[in-house]
Amino acid sequence: MMYPYMTLADETEIVHSHLIEENGKRKVIVNFERPVENGFDSARCELPDYTWTQRDGYSDEEIAMFEELLHSNAHLLYKYAENGGIQIA
């Protein structure tokens, strides 16, 4: 299951997975996706290792910005992943 997190000014949608327990490790998968003329730019990062498992269309500078965003938001992403997404009343 993927949950919406935020939309950036360039229309990049950021979504995250539920909390995944794998080999005694708790991880969250974060996807970035932006519409372009012939489809989508996309990237995927796995926390807590910050491993980029997919990357198509985003520049090195954009990936660096995403990684900075992930470092400052990881605690929230884990909290929301554990609780089934952001709960908006």
CB 66 within 8 A of CB 79: no
Tell me the pTM.
0.92
Confidence band for 88, pLDDT divided at 50, 70 and 90:
low
Q: Render pLDDT for 13-49 as a digit per residue (tens, 0 to 9).
A: 999 999 999 999 999 999 999 999 999 999 999 999 9
